[in-house]
Amino acid sequence: MNYLTGRVRLARNITSYPFPAKMTREQAEEVIDKVWDAVSSSSLKDSVSIIKNTEENRLKLTSLSEKHLISPDFLRGNLPRAVILSSDNTISIMINEEDHIRIQVFSDTNTLSAAYETADRIDTLLSEKLPIAYHETFGFLTACPTNAGTGMRASYMLHLPALTMSNSINSVLSWASKLGLAVRGIYGEGSKAKGAFYQLSNQIALGATEKDIIARLDAAAKELTDKETLVQNALYENNTAKLTDKCMRAYGILTNAYTLSSEEAFSLISDVALGINLGIITGIEHKNLTDALFNTLPASLSLANNNAESAERDILRAEYMRTNLEKH
Amino acid sequence: MNYLTGRVRLARNITSYPFPAKMTREQAEEVIDKVWDAVSSSSLKDSVSIIKNTEENRLKLTSLSEKHLISPDFLRGNLPRAVILSSDNTISIMINEEDHIRIQVFSDTNTLSAAYETADRIDTLLSEKLPIAYHETFGFLTACPTNAGTGMRASYMLHLPALTMSNSINSVLSWASKLGLAVRGIYGEGSKAKGAFYQLSNQIALGATEKDIIARLDAAAKELTDKETLVQNALYENNTAKLTDKCMRAYGILTNAYTLSSEEAFSLISDVALGINLGIITGIEHKNLTDALFNTLPASLSLANNNAESAERDILRAEYMRTNLEKH
């Protein structure tokens, strides 16, 4: 499980409306209606639905946010916003977040080219129906200048346990920065406790084509995950018994505990995933672990269980692990 | 698993030989021969064998010692010694430990009367063939005056996790002392890390009949284990989630770890046993746990695995747990 998910995001804005930071509620509602009209009259119409940021949708949206399907910023403030989501959760179009439109396409492979093609197709489809702000020199105009140009951000969520254990993350950070890329902890900066999950993304949207940016990110992700694999093997070779014990105990705790915090679950899943990579743990797939990771996030558990509170969620999370992570 | 094992021990000496501390090697050999002749010409002959303290038997004897079938003192010094052991390990007669003869009978019930009857029968059988030192006023004569009189020590190994967790062991100590009893940690004094296993024994062998001493010890053991059960239930009621989690995690680690020290195994088995008592853990019996406890003691593992050293033993111990403690 070196790759978790990849994402391509295109930022677009409609001419004649101010950016969301300066919009009135009425203008925001209009933009939502226009985008939804465009999407729901397109070939996407049967596979998507719209969720507005009403009070009653709050928990559902928090759950989408912790799954990275929408941004934390989407949840802030009172401006009317909406997200158009495909039924398989691979497409998410945020309306009135920082920009009027943010097309997001997710992928679970080790290349983002297919995801980019899908995003590009949606972009084309919207451009045919909406006047998109574009400048000959600057490219697509965006609320924040760092997104201008292609308006594209592409990223991978990567699992880098060996680089974390061997304290090599700082050197990874400076390597990435030289390539115009950024590496961040997926929930807060580089937190070990959160199980060695990181986001690798491009920092600059300008001065290169979308395909070039994606090719560069794909190559960097490959280089990074290859390095992770090398370090995993080296760590294993030098600490076989210790690492074997660590991974096996993690599995034992994960699948037997009565209560598990989200933080501990991340950390244990990270160790078990490493165990699968190294052949220490068999009879269980990475897919089971990523499902467990995303299905037991706090808001997801609350949503599925009558707004369960923290202590109850920890019990439900542990129950999920005991039920779904048995070896077969 | 409140009761692990019980033991009755009778100390006897043969007239006309000095106590072992003052014996020559020749005298020691003679005593071994006389006792073995007496036993091997009795009804016990088909079920017993003799093990002398030769260098080649050292590991085997260490293994008997850690199982409490012989005493640690038996292993010290160069005097010829021997132990006569029944094939089911319920009878162990030490020759030339502190006294010439120490008849030990083990039991896994919550009364020592049957064990005492067996010990008494062996004592009678030996008395018929050997001149046993007995004094009208002092009773049986022993190397250490605290054993004189009946020459009897009786004891239970008890598992008292809740009294340990609730820091009530000190009050148990003073309660026992008032009754002429002693409570000790089974491997070193009151050590929590060793899994809350204790030995309860009579301190005085004089001034009461054997049956009285045993009745008193049986009653005290019952009182103590009843109190343990009460405290277990109270602890559970007040800390249900926490205690459930602790016991379930202990089972998870115990049955998944790649390497386990003896100390950690004791502690985990203690928690799992508590979990069985409280109905938290099902599908596994106390018997499995006590077997695991005694079969994975260091010398027992070394004996069964080509003199395995510490690190290797820890791996073998964990393997034993993974193989033998699955829920059914």
Considering only CA atoms, which of A287, A296, A303 is closest in space to residue A320? Answer: A296
CB within 8 Å of A142: residues ≥ 6 apart: A11, A13, A98, A99, A148, A151, A205
Q: Which two tokens stand for residue B308?
A: 């395995």
Nearest to A255 among B252, B259, B315 (CB): B252
Could you tell me if A51 and A74 are in contact, meaning their C-beta atoms sit under 8 angstroms apart?
Answer: no
Q: CB B249 to CB A241 under 8 A?
A: no
Could you tell me if B270 and B186 are in contact, meaning their C-beta atoms sit under 8 angstroms apart?
Answer: no
Question: What b/e readout covers A170-194, taking b as 16+ CB neighbours within 10 angstroms?
Answer: eebbebbeeeebebebbbeebbeeb
ipTM above 0.95, yes or no: no
Question: Closest Cα of chain A to B252: distance in Å?
Answer: 4
Q: CB B245 to CB A258 under 8 A?
A: yes
Chain A interface with B: residues with Cβ < 8 Å: 241, 244-245, 248-249, 251-259, 311, 315, 318
Spatial distance between the Cα atoms of A249 and A128, rounded to a whole number of angstroms: 56
Spatial distance between the Cα atoms of A51 and A81, rounded to a whole number of angstroms: 9
Average pLDDT (B3-13) is 93
Considering only CA atoms, which of B197, B187, B112, B198 is closest in space to residue B154? Answer: B112
Instruction: Select from A258, A280, A317, A325 the residue whose CB has the most chain B CBs within 10 Å, as the one to mutate to test that interface.
Output: A258
Query: Which pLDDT does position A108 carry in this prediction?
Result: 87
Dihedral (CA of B216, B213, B286, A246) sign: positive
Nearest to B245 among A248, A252, A259 (CB): A259
Q: CB A252 to CB B248 under 8 A?
A: no
Angle at A61 between CA A55 and CA A67, to 5 degrees: 165
Spatial distance between the Cα atoms of B30 and A252, rounded to a whole number of angstroms: 56
Q: CB A258 to CB B248 under 8 A?
A: yes
Nearest to A241 among B245, B248, B258 (CB): B258
Considering only CA atoms, which of A50, A252, A299 is closest in space to residue B260? Answer: A252
Residue A195: C-alpha distances to residues A253, A264, B252 (Å): 15, 8, 20
Contacts of A252 in chain B (CB under 8 A): 252-257
State the pTM of this model: 0.89
Instruction: Select from A240, A242, A249 the residue whose CB has the most chain B CBs within 10 Å, as the one to mutate to test that interface.
Output: A249
Rounded to 5 degrees, φ, ψ at B91 are -125, 130
Chain B interface with A: residues with Cβ < 8 Å: 241, 244-245, 248-249, 251-259, 311, 315, 318
Q: CB A251 to CB B256 under 8 A?
A: yes
Spatial distance between the Cα atoms of A280 and A275, rounded to a whole number of angstroms: 5
Nearest to B256 among A241, A252, A259 (CB): A252
Q: Which two tokens stand for residue B37?
A: 């002749």
Question: Is B165 exposed, middle or buried (CB count within 10 Å of its CB: 0-12, 13-18, 19+)?
Answer: buried
Q: Which two tokens stand for residue A297?
A: 């996030």
**Long-range Cβ contacts of B306-313 (<8 Å, 24+ apart):** B307/B59, B311/A241, B311/B259, B313/B262
Considering only CA atoms, which of A150, A147, A107 is closest in space to residue A19? Answer: A147
Q: CB A257 to CB B248 under 8 A?
A: yes
pLDDT in tens, chain A (328 residues): 788 889 999 999 999 899 999 999 999 999 999 999 999 999 999 999 999 999 999 999 999 998 899 999 999 989 999 999 999 999 999 999 999 999 999 998 889 999 999 999 999 999 999 999 999 888 899 998 888 889 999 999 999 999 999 988 888 888 888 888 988 887 644 444 467 889 999 887 677 899 999 999 999 999 999 999 999 999 999 999 999 999 999 999 999 999 999 999 999 999 999 999 999 999 999 999 999 999 999 999 999 998 899 999 999 999 999 999 999 8
